[in-house]
Amino acid sequence: MSTLRVGIIGLGGIARKHCGAISTLDDVEVVAVADMIEENRQKYVGEYDIPKSYPHHTDLLKDDNIEAVGVVLGHQLHHQLVIDSCNAGKHVLVEKPMALNLQQCDEMIEAADRNGVKLMVGLSFHYYGTSLKAKEILDSGELGPVITAVSYMTKNWNYASRRPQYRSRYHGGGMWLTNGVHVVDRLNWIMGSQAASVSASIGTRAHYQAGDDSASAFIRYKNGLGGHAIAVGYANGGPCHECHVICANGTLRFCQHYEKFVKVGRGEDWEDVPFDDQDEDMHHEWGSFAHAIREDIDPPTDGHWGRHVMEILYAAEQSAITSREVVLDNGLGWNNQSSGLRINQEHGWL
C-alpha cells in the first residue's frame, strides 16, 4: 500500500491537529509545509520531522513529490488556495467552512473536476469515533426511523484571543460560519436527507464584534423530517457539543468534546455504548481522505456535500434578516450524485 504524500498549507493552531492525526496513519505522511512565517515553519519541521518547508503555497505546489494538500488557513483564503492546488494537480482537503459564498464553492468544485482530483471539506465532527458509532447504530435500524434531532455547539467564544477575521462576517467569521457549520453537517448526516428550507434566528448578543455569536435554525428536510441546529458562542457558561436523536424505538445521544460518550436510551434509561476512541480527533478524517484517493471514490464530505452545508448556512442568515422561512436554491426536488464514481460504503446520506 503506497503512502499518500501530503503538504500542509498554513501553520496556525489547527495545523497541529492535522499533523498529529496524520502521524497516527501508516499510509499518509506530511512531506512539506508552507507558511509565510519562518518561525512557524521551523517549529513544525522540527516537531513533526517534516523534510521540506516553503515560504509560500505556490512554491509547495511546484513540488512533484506532493500528491495532496491540506488547506488550513483562514476562511477568506480557502477559495483561491483550493483552486491553485487543484490546478497544480493536487488532491485537496480544505478546512471548514468551505468558502465565503456559493459561487466560490462552485468554482472550487469545478476546479477539482476539471483537474481530475479529489476535493474534501474537513468537517471534523463527521469523522469522530463517537459520530461514526452513532451513525452505525442509526443505520442498523435497531432504534427504528429517526423522528427528529437537535445538534448543539455551545461554547465560550474566547473573544479576547479570537483573531479579527474570525470576528468579522465580511471575512467569513462569526459563530455560525465558524462552528455552526459543524452542527449543520452533523444534523444533515443524522437526518439522512438533503435539506429543503431553513427558518433561523441569528444575532450578536454577547460580544461587540462584526459577526454573529448565536444562532438557532430549524431545518426542514426533503424526507419530511425537521431538526434543530444550535450554535452559541457565549461569554460565560457551560459547554455542550451534544447531538440528541429521537427515534421511533429508542433515543440516542453522542458527544466528542468536553464530555465524550455515545448513549442509547430505552425503557427510561440511558446505556453507554463503546466506540473507537482515537487519541487524535482527525484520525478518521485523514484516513477517509486517503481511502477515497486510493480507491477513486467520492470523499465522504466532498465538495457537493460541503456546498450543501454552506447553502443551509447562508439561507439561515437570509431567514434571520427577513424573519421568513427560506427555501434553498437547490429547490424542492432531489439532487443526484454527479461524479458517476462508486460510493463510499462507510459514509453518505444513508
Q: Where are the domains of the chain?
A: 4-124, 126-270+303-327
The confidence band for 348, taking pLDDT boundaries of 50, 70 and 90, is: low
pLDDT of residue 349: 61
**Pairwise CA distance, residues 169 & 172, whole Å:** 5
CA–CA gap between residue 348 and residue 202 (Å, rounded): 28
Q: Over 80: is that where the pLDDT of 53 sits?
A: yes
DSSP strand E in 191-242: where?
A: 195-203, 214-221, 226-234
48-78 CB burial, b ≥16 within 10 A, e <16: bebebbbeebeebbebeebbbbbbbbbbbbb
Set of cell numbers at residue 345 = 460504503
Q: Are 316 and 200 in contact (CB under 8 A)?
A: yes
Residue in the structure block whose three cell numbers are 448578543: 205
**pLDDT tens digits, one per residue of 6-25:** 999 999 889 999 999 999 99
pLDDT of residue 342: 83
Q: Is the pLDDT of residue 350 over 90?
A: no
> Each residue of 202-249: pLDDT tens digit?
999 999 999 999 999 999 999 999 999 999 999 999 999 999 999 999
* CATH tag, 4-124: 3.40.50.720
Give the integer Cα–Cα distance in Å for 157 and 250: 34
Q: Which of 118, 75, 86 is nearest to 339 (CA)?
A: 118
Cell 459543524 belongs to 182
Q: Which pLDDT value is given to residue 338?
A: 84
Number of H helices, E strands in the chain: 10, 15
Place of cell 455515545: 262
- Check whether 346 has a pLDDT greater than 80: no
| Residue 278, all three cell numbers | 482515537
CB 287, CB 25: distance < 8 Å: yes
Comparing CA positions, the residue from 102, 46, 21, 37 lying closest to residue 286 is 21
CA 188 to chain centre: 12
Q: Is the pTM value of this prediction over 0.85?
A: yes
Is 60 exceeded by the pLDDT of residue 1? no
Q: Which CATH number is associated with domain 126-270+303-327?
A: 3.30.360.10
Q: Cell 436554491 maps to which residue? A: 329
Residue with cell 472550487: 108
pLDDT band at 279 (very low <50, low <70, confident <90, very high): very high
**Rg over CA atoms, the chain:** 20
Do 4-124 and 126-270+303-327 have matching folds? no
Picking from 214, 232, 190, 197, the residue whose alpha carbon sits closest to that of residue 316 is: 197
Candidates 255, 178, 185; CA nearest to 215 is 178
Whether residue 145 is predicted with pLDDT greater than 80 in this model: the reply is yes
Q: Are 92 and 271 in contact (CB under 8 A)?
A: no
CA atoms within 13 A on the CB side of 260: 13
